Amino acid sequence: MTITCLAALGLSALLTAQAAPAASARGAGQRKARNGEVSRVAFEQLSKAADRARDENDNEDAIRLYRRALSLRPAWQEGLWYLGILEYEKERFLDARDVLRRFVTYDPSAGPGWAVLGMSEFKTREYSRAFDHLRRAMALGLGGRKEMAQSVFYFVAALLTRFEQYDESMNMLLAMVKSGQKTDLLVEPLGLAALRMPLLPAETPPDRHEMIRMAGQGALAVEAGRQGEAERLFSGIVAAYPNEPGGHFLYGVFLLDLRPADGIREIKRELEISPFHVAARLRLVEEYLKEERFDEGLMLAEEAVKLEPKDGPAHMMLGEVLIAKGDLAGGIRELETSEKQAPQTVRTRWDLLRAYTTTGRKDDAQREKGEIERLNAPTGEQEP
Amino acid sequence: MKRFSSLLALFLAPLSALSATPQKSFEQIAKQADAARTADRMSEAIGLYTQGVHLHPAWSDGWWWLGSLLYDEDRFAEAAPAFQKFVALTPKSGPGYAFLALCEYETQDFGSSVKHFGEWARRGSPGNDALLDVAGFRWASLLTREGRFSEALYLLAAKAAKVGRSPALVEAMGLASLRMNNLPEDYPPERRELVWLTGEAAYYSATGATLRASQYADRLLVHYSHEPGVHFFRGTLFEFQKDFGAAEQEYEEELRASPDNGPAMTELAVTLVDDVQPDKAVPIAERAVSLEPQNPRSYYALGSALLETGKPDQGARALEKAKQFAPNSSFIRFTLAKAYRALGREEEAKRESAAFLALKDKQDVLAWPENRRATPEQVDPRGTKKP
């Protein structure tokens, strides 16, 4: 993205006053003082020249001058910031990254600094770091920079899919749709998340490009309440790609709300293609709970836990089935396991609150209530 | 940004004497630096440690903290020289080499990074779980880049068993299993799905989930059956499962696509010997040796095949060559003992048996110096040599 506009917005809010010259008590001799004065004058000349070159869009010259000024005053935050974004705009992402790492050392609360750093790291394919730093930018806020916020959200959502956090990615992408963002760019990431393919849009296999687009467009249609269009797209996927993993699950989940029996049939078909699909099992368990088919639900929930013993949602669903079958102690045990593995999941805490209340464990119930309130409190994280 | 200060603090011996003849200003700076660090004023601490080590270049603790604070801030290019100074000043530098190697990985000084990971390993890989985790992973990635795939997979499989599955681990296992000389950051994006599916199969195979591994391995065939390395990888999975017939078919398929693929030829020969078809293995192993004259496993395949076809004399010669390249391989020593016994050379057989017994509990994979086959520059992702 272009961030000249960001720079033009002014950094007064972002940057505090220029860093004071590094304090140094040593060597207070006259010669040193004279050298210091020469250096100060040189820095001021260079920094002004750099700013002027940037204002005149002579960016290569500006980069050179910022670098020289920073060699005299390495902690000059404004210089680090402008140098970082100029390098980013020149698509020299390694250089941008290194400069911005220094910048955030001096100003760790600068959301935009973390944002451009994270985007640089995305470009250099340091995805884990990029993810951490972009999330940090979201938490700190971007000072109303809408274009930057959209980019940050896009990158984070794409990375969530690559890190196999598909539901979180979908939620984020749909929140972006709701906020009024143009959907063209979101179709592919939505499709990848919906089909549970841990790839970035740039990594999409050409022979499944159409399938991924159809899945993304279908997700957008569902979000807009255009059920007919969504069904046409999802049924089109399973017709065109009948043996490809992901399609039947997506269609099945969609159908569960419309025609549950058809939805169950599609998800079962997915399990024939993808026999180790944990999410498909859990979605079926949820439906069976609704239909009070507890034995079928229990079997699938136990399989899910066996396949992924460290999966919080699998333990949560097993806990819910056990409680539904009247095994309160077993259910609580599974829910507590789930809570340990995924402490941020509010649904598990509601389940536990109810179970503790039923069994008269008032203190435990109270603790869960407090946790639910805490988790539901606004985070202050930037909106898309 | 990961906070490693606390981690680093665990390794640091009590602060050594700062100086025999301390200067007041240095002492002040050292105290201020420590105070800034413990108060989490990182940029100030970095500045003060920098001043301190300039005044007193032998201040090893200063270099350590300077390196560790810069590492914490992901400023690896600046951290590396500080760790370099630290390990030079501190003979028993413990995890210092690992942090130096990690910085060098980040600054893409890969040769130095491999060297310093090696130094760290020679000192017993000191460090806590967090360091072992990150250093082991990076080292494995570098071994993959260097074409030392078995060693990389050994490290990654150990990590899989210890900490379980993660997307990054799956990716790294995929690259090594496909014998791609790449880091996770630098392979072609269009190969991402191939790497992912291969990594899943490798991970589940390494953790004993054979059916799940097979499911991913089969998915590879749907879209990537013509990709280099896919049939080789499937061959290794079947070989591991002792399904020799299926393994042979896969290696043959790989060789149809790339007839000069030395590793595939070697594994086909080894599998044929295991499958009691040594006659068929001999010409294939001979060709593998001619393609990779410095690969101990090729000589091992040839020696085993010759031995099993009733030619212990020729077999022993091939196995001696294998031993020359990989003296710490228990497999080779065991088979060589067998060959000497068949030749009636009892003393030598006893010597090799003793060597086998001494080595057998060690991980054989690390005894195969795959890197002797060729430098990374000489090997392309197909596993064939470049002209």
| B185–chain A Cβ distance below 8 A for any pair | yes
pLDDT for the residue A108: 93
* Chain B from 67 to 96: CB within 8 A of any A CB: 73-75, 77
Residue A352 placed within a domain: no
Residue in A102, A125, A207 nearest the CB of B185:
A125
Residue A72 placed within a domain: yes
pLDDT tens-digit series, residues A316-347: 999 999 999 999 999 999 999 999 999 999 99
Residue A384: which pLDDT band, with cuts at 50, 70 and 90? low
Which residues of chain B make contact with A102, given a CB cutoff of 8 A?
A: 73, 75
pLDDT for the residue B16: 38
List of residues 6+ apart from B359 with CB closer than 8 A: B328, B329, B330, B333, B367
- Contact between B189 and A205 using a beta-carbon 8 Å cutoff: no
pLDDT for the residue B217: 96
Residue A268 has pLDDT above 60, yes or no: yes
Residue B286 placed within a domain: no
- Give the minimum alpha-carbon distance from B167 to chain A in angstroms, rounded to a whole number: 6
pLDDT for the residue B380: 29
pLDDT tens-digit series, residues B192-219: 999 999 999 999 999 999 999 999 999 9
Find the CATH number of the domain harbouring A83: 1.25.40.10
- Give the minimum alpha-carbon distance from B343 to chain A in angstroms, rounded to a whole number: 52
Residue B187 placed within a domain: no
Residue B128 has pLDDT above 60, yes or no: yes
Residues B100 and B131: beta-carbon distance below 8 Å: no
Which residues of chain A make contact with B222, given a CB cutoff of 8 A?
A: 243
H helix runs in chain B, sequence order: 5-11, 24-38, 42-55, 60-72, 76-89, 96-106, 110-122, 129-145, 149-163, 167-177, 192-206, 210-224, 230-240, 244-257, 262-274, 278-291, 296-308, 312-325, 330-343, 346-359
- Contact between A101 and B73 using a beta-carbon 8 Å cutoff: yes
pLDDT for the residue B125: 87
The predicted model gives B224-248 an average pLDDT of 95
- Give the minimum alpha-carbon distance from B74 to chain A in angstroms, rounded to a whole number: 7
Least confident of A187-191, B297-301, B369-373: B369-373
- Contact between B25 and A25 using a beta-carbon 8 Å cutoff: yes
pLDDT for the residue A41: 87
- Give the minimum alpha-carbon distance from B185 to chain A in angstroms, rounded to a whole number: 5
Range B269-300 burial, b when 16+ CB lie within 10 A, else e: bbbbbbbebbebbbebbbbbbebbebbbbbbb
pLDDT tens-digit series, residues A43-82: 999 999 999 999 999 999 999 999 999 999 999 999 999 9
- Tokens 């310093």 belong to B116
Interface residues of chain A, partner chain B, Cβ below 8 Å: 22, 24-26, 75, 98, 101-102, 104-106, 124-126, 128-129, 132-133, 136, 162-164, 197-200, 202-203, 205-207, 243, 245, 274-276, 310
Quick one: which of A101, A324, A176 has its CA closest to B70? A101
Average pLDDT, chain A: 91
- Give the number of domains in chain B: 1
Residue A15 placed within a domain: no
Which residues of chain B make contact with A163, given a CB cutoff of 8 A?
A: 167
- Global ipTM: 0.87
List of residues 6+ apart from A73 with CB closer than 8 A: A19, A21, A22, A43, A79
Residue A132 placed within a domain: yes
- Give the minimum alpha-carbon distance from B266 to chain A in angstroms, rounded to a whole number: 32
- Contact between B46 and A105 using a beta-carbon 8 Å cutoff: yes
Residue B244 has pLDDT above 70, yes or no: yes
Residue A36 has pLDDT above 90, yes or no: no
Residue B359 placed within a domain: no
Residue B93: which pLDDT band, with cuts at 50, 70 and 90? confident
pLDDT for the residue A32: 63
- Tokens 């003393």 belong to B347
- Tokens 């066996």 belong to A306
- Contact between B192 and A105 using a beta-carbon 8 Å cutoff: no
Residue A10 has pLDDT above 60, yes or no: no
Residue B341 placed within a domain: no
Residue B334 placed within a domain: no
- Contact between A203 and B185 using a beta-carbon 8 Å cutoff: no
- Contact between B185 and A126 using a beta-carbon 8 Å cutoff: yes
Express as a percent the part of chain A with pLDDT over 70.
89
pLDDT tens-digit series, residues B352-365: 999 999 887 665 44
Find the CATH number of the domain harbouring B58: 1.25.40.10
- Contact between B189 and A203 using a beta-carbon 8 Å cutoff: yes
Which tokens is A250 given? 């997506």
The predicted model gives B36-59 an average pLDDT of 94
Residue A24 has pLDDT above 90, yes or no: no
Average pLDDT, chain B: 87
Which residues of chain A make contact with B163, given a CB cutoff of 8 A?
A: none
Residue A136 placed within a domain: yes
pLDDT for the residue A90: 96
- Tokens 């040189």 belong to A42
Residue A175 has pLDDT above 50, yes or no: yes
Q: Is A317 left (phi over 0), alpha (psi -120 to 50) or beta?
A: alpha
Q: Please give the angle made by the CA atoms of A170, A100 and A2, to the nearest 5 degrees.
A: 60
Residue in A22, A126, A243 nearest the CB of B47:
A22
Which residues of chain A make contact with B186, given a CB cutoff of 8 A?
A: 125
The predicted model gives B246-252 an average pLDDT of 97
Which residues of chain B make contact with A202, given a CB cutoff of 8 A?
A: 189
Residue A101 placed within a domain: yes
Residue A24 placed within a domain: no
The predicted model gives B273-302 an average pLDDT of 96
pLDDT for the residue A38: 74
- Give the number of domains in chain A: 1
Residue B33 placed within a domain: yes
Residue in A133, A164, A206 nearest the CB of B167:
A164
3-state SS, residue B379:
strand
Residue in B46, B164, B196 nearest the CB of A310:
B164
Instruction: Look up the domain containing B93 and give its range.
Output: 1-11+23-127
Residue in A101, A164, A202 nearest the CB of B189:
A202
Quick one: which of A327, A326, A306 has its CA closest to A315? A306
pLDDT tens-digit series, residues B169-185: 999 999 999 999 999 99
Instruction: Look up the domain containing A115 and give its range.
Output: 1-8+36-143
